Amino acid sequence: MRGSLSKVLAIFWKDILLEIRTKESVTAILVFALLVLVIFNFAFEPETATMNLVAPGILWVAFTFAGVLGLNRVFAIERENSRLAGLLLCPIDPMLIYWGKLLGSFTFMFAIEIIVTPIFLVLLNLPLFLPRLLLIIVLATLGFTSVGTLFSALANNIRARDIMLPILFLPIVVPVIIAAVEATALVLQSSPWGDMMTWLQIMIAFDIIYLVVATLVFQYVVEG
């Protein structure tokens, strides 16, 4: 168990180090997410009823498409120079590669969300301290990246991978995005905890199901 954890962390740390040095993913995702927010902010007047209605959708559109951009890069690093073969030659269960990669995808996406969310809240003149929104972001991001990491590995073997990833992946992840949008709307309306429980439960169930499924099938995706 300890050995497995150290290998997961080694893969995770390797990806973090590469990202710190190249800034290939985070910069592109961050710029994209901020652009979406700014454009929508100009399209809808802040503090209007329409803005309150569409704001959760804007936030999750920004996160979803920025997330897809990031997921395209998750296995691109391993594709170059046949590094995935190098990883597969290591005497480890392939599921550890999945968990290491998932930890990296989650961290990158969560880091972007932590930067983008306060800007979104300021643009909408909303309070900055919304712990319930943080919970929604954590649950939705976990679901998003658990499926996304698997599909990124799958798309890695496909020729038109940049196009195929969103086509394959977005229909699967729709339930978690809808739940996140609905729950975010309730948080922004200051609704009580009880109102958003159903959406939180959907996200938790989605996370558990897809973490288990992706862990089990990852080996067949990368080893063929």
Partner 1 sequence: MDETESALTAWAIEVEALSKSFGRNRALSNIDLKIGRGEHVIVFGPNGAGKTTLVKVLSTLSKPSSGTVRVDGEDIRSDPVKVRRRISLVSHDTFLYDNLTVYENLRFYGKMHDVPDLEENVREVIARVRLEPRLHDRVGILSHGMQQRVSIARAIIHNPSILFLDEPEAGLDPQAVVMLRDVLESVNTPERTIVMTTHNLRQGVEMGDRVVILDRGKIVYQASRDDIDTVNFYEIYQSYTGTGE
Residues that bind partner 1 (CB under 8 A): 3, 6-7, 10, 14, 17-18, 21-22, 77, 81-83, 85-93, 223-224
* Residue number, 46 or 86, with CB nearest to partner 1: 86
Distance in angstroms (rounded) separating the CA atoms of residues 182 and 139: 13
CB of 158 to partner 1, least distance (A): 16
* Cβ–Cβ < 8 Å for 102, 149: yes
Measured from the CB of residue 99, what is the shortest distance to partner 1 in angstroms? 13
User: Would you state the structure tokens that stand for residue 80, as one six-digit string?
Assistant: 């170059």
Distance between CA atoms of 152 and 69, rounded to whole angstroms? 11
Report the alpha-carbon distance of residue 186 to residue 193 in Å, rounded.
9
Is the Cβ of residue 54 or residue 95 nearer to partner 1 in the bound state? 95
Evaluate whether 24 touches 73 at the Cβ level (below 8 Å): yes
Residue 3 C-beta: closest distance to partner 1, Å: 6
Q: How far is CA 131 from CA 23, 90, 174, in A?
A: 29, 41, 24
Tokens of 142: 């976990």
Nearest to partner 1 of 5, 35 (CB atom): 5
Q: How far is the CB of 82 from partner 1 (least distance, A)?
A: 4
